[in-house]
Amino acid sequence: MGAAMRRRKGKPTVLGDEGATPDAAIAAMPRGQLQNLRRRIVLTYEYLGLREVVLRIVTFPLRFTPLRHRLRLGSLAESEQRRAASWYGEKGRPVSIVIPTYGDPRHVFEAVRSIRATTSRDMVTIVVADDATPSAEHIAALKAIGGIDTLILGTHNVGFAANANRGLRAADARLDVVLLNADIVAQDRWLDCLQYAARCDDTCSPEGEQGTGDVGIVGAKLLYPDGRIQHGGVHRNLGAPVWFDHRYRFKPANHGPANITVPVLAVTGACMYVRREVIDAIGLLDERYEMAYEDVDWCLRAWQVGFRVLYFPPATLVHLESVTRGREVGERELSSQRAFWQRWGEFFDGRGATVRTPDGHLRIVYVTEGTGVGGGHRDIFEHLDRLGERGHDVKLFTLGDQPDWYDLKAPVYTFEDYDELTGALALEDAIKIATWWNTGTPVWRASVVRGISVFFVQDIETSYYPDDERNRYAVLAGYRHEFSYMTISGWNADRLRELGMESTLVPPGIDLDTFRPLDGTRRRRDMLLALGRTNPLKNLPLTIDAWKALPGKPQLCLFGIEPELGEEYGARYVERPSDEGVNELFNEATVFVQTSTHEGFCLPPLEAMATGAAVVCTDSHGNRDFCVDGENCLMPEPTVAAVSGAIARLLTDDELRARLGEAGRGTAQNYAWERRIDELEGFLLQVAGGPSSAAVQAVG
């Protein structure tokens, strides 16, 4: 180590085209003292540990002073940076940083200076590989840059990948590598964060949970000089599928979803931390890529051998690439493009055959977090059973148990946690369907190498976390371009479109053999019926207050799985009624009332309509597709006076009740399950068909 240290303080070692391994090893030894054990409580305990709790308490007054920015207080990303720095101080290991370059070395000077200013000298070896710059003046200036340990001067121009490999071959064969563009400016703690994300997972994930040690490549958040995001991970460009693009490009640096750590298809070679185990497993960059695609290819090869590629936004650097830089497509780019799609075209676009059974039916796996009573689960179970009846090979993967409230015929596979589920799902050649934001990442991860990923968006679930900003951002970060989307309402589809995702509408169906008018059942004249749930989005208190405001206070009947609400509100409560029992209630009720603040679709009012019941419901977004005020229901404003007034009108106006009930029955007929499954099956068959290898054709 002493020899290596002395060499760093002098001039760099200059190598020819062959490259060489530095003559002194850098021991990968943990550094620093043991940190206090971090115990978790609520969000700060859970994600950041006891030390962070104490730090936040002590520094809280400073958050309202100019010192806040200097001390980097406040945000979750900054807290993760401090946690990474603490881990790095104890367990950090040396790395080699490889910087390919060509031409004027001014950016190299800035890059090296920023690296040396933000890292410990004994933890970093800098290797710069020049791709045969023709200017003697530029070469002289490059040689004069201080802080470079090894300088490789290529004798002929070979393109980015081969030139980067010059540097990679010269790096210490025992160390992890960071590949950096020459026009990168490092920021504080960038290396702490990248190595923490790559290596902490040997014992714990960046979020603090027990890890699996399979993170192989990590990318950072890169910013343009004007502060906007240049890179937040890589995805296929849906508008031009022969190219790849960066997530969150041009969003502000503090864009919430861009601050969520997620696995990604690839990260840019402008800043890429690569574990030595990955290089040992898959080799160096593919030198067929003279310009472009080499980084995506490297990441895909890592995925194929079992490593994850991770985007870790607490690691932040500036990329001096101009925001107005155009894409000049020359022969080198086109050659790289052809090479990439010849290799990977089938990988991306040829999976349709693999998700089919020998007789041509589809293999389909739905993934849920649970199996409890709920309209969303019912919709999923109907999909499974009805697709199964049409001959498709269907399965349910879940963290829940076999449902005891629904007679699900499809096979159910239960797992202890998402890691176990993801591992099993990754082995399936199937269309894999996420159904809830927490299932999105497991389904996506399990579909990178095999199968096709679909997201069944039953709601934009940010509404579930009004007081949890991190989870709201995590929901949005889970909507990836790689998914094919189906959703249950126009409102959801509009929100997805605002996020850049197109979707196919597949609303829930109704079993019209079950939900129908019953001969011999007399509809009462003084009975309000409502779903009795405490979920805040259902807004049951508004229904209760409107009922109490009615003159004469007609009977209120609630149904569901929370019977204690009956006693609390002085109402009759029917616990866990069967579908037939719910239908009887709909047939008895004078008015069905639902005052939700938000629903992804809102099925109970539609089921009530199928029986001819008069319906009062507030605008809950997802019900706009089938609720028309004054035509098949009344949709008052969400106030006690307005809801109570609407109920009172229906209680006293027999003609209005009958007219709305009859129109509601007509509306419900459009939601017969056979029609819905036709739409679902058509969508899934289209997904299995793929984009007809358009990318390969475009470059062939």
Residue 622 to residue 603: CA distance in whole angstroms: 9
pLDDT at 659: 97
Structure tokens given for 598 = 């938000």
Q: What CA–CA distance (Å, rounded) separates 43 from 53?
A: 10
Task: Report pLDDT for 329.
Answer: 73
How far apart are the C-alpha atoms of 18 and 167, rounded to whole Å? 10
Contact between residue 310 and residue 272 where contact means Cβ atoms under 8 Å apart: no
**Contact between 638 and 595 (Cβ < 8 Å):** yes
Whether the CB-CB separation of 294 and 336 falls below 8 Å is answered with: yes
Q: Where are the alpha helices (DSSP H) in 102-182?
A: 106-118, 136-143, 160-170
Domains of the chain: 2-347 (3.90.550.10), 359-505 (3.40.50.2000), 527-671 (3.40.50.2000)
CB contact set of 559 (below 8 Å; sequence gap of 6+): 529, 531, 532, 573, 574, 575, 577, 582, 585
Q: How far is CA 521 from CA 524, 608, 662, in A?
A: 9, 15, 17
Return all residues near 1 (Cβ < 8 A) that are at least 6 apart. Answer: 24, 25, 26, 27, 122
Distance CA(294)–CA(298), nearest Å, equals: 6
Q: What is the DSSP letter of 362?
A: B
Q: Which helix (H) or strand (E) holds 573?
A: strand 572-575
* CA 430 centroid distance within chain: 20
* Residues facing residue 29 across a β-bridge: none
Asked whether 202 and 308 are in contact (CB, 8 A), the reply is no
Which amino acid does the sequence have at 408? L
Using DSSP bridges, classify how beta strands 271-274 and 215-223 pair: parallel, antiparallel or unpaired: antiparallel
C-alpha span between 494 and 504 (Å, rounded): 11
- Amino acid at residue number 262: V
CA dihedral 251, 256, 259, 260 (to 10 degrees): -120
- Ramachandran angles phi, psi of 586, nearest 5°: -60, -35
pLDDT confidence of residue 18: 44
Structure tokens at 13: 């070692």
The secondary structure element, H or E, covering residue 495 is helix 490-498
User: Which residues lie closer than 8 Å to 150 by C-beta, 6 or more apart?
Assistant: 12, 13, 14, 15, 20, 22, 125, 126, 127, 128, 167, 170
Which pLDDT score is estimated for 78?
82
Interior angle at CA 123, CA 117 and CA 124, nearest 5: 65
Cα(278)–Cα(145) distance, integer angstroms? 31
Mean pLDDT by 10 residues, the chain (700 residues): 33 54 30 31 42 54 46 63 93 97 96 97 97 96 97 95 97 97 96 96 50 85 96 91 94 96 97 98 96 96 97 96 61 92 95 95 98 94 98 98 95 97 98 98 97 97 92 96 96 96 96 94 94 94 96 93 95 95 97 96 96 97 96 97 97 96 97 96 91 38
Largest interatomic CA distance in the chain? 99
Among 474, 487, 385, 472, which residue's Cα sits nearest to residue 433? 487
| pTM score of the predicted model | 0.85
Q: Which two tokens mark 386?
A: 């009805």
For helices 603-610 and 375-389, what crossing angle results, to 10°? Answer: 70
Please give the Cα distance from 591 to 556 (Å, whole number): 10
DSSP secondary structure letter of residue 359: T
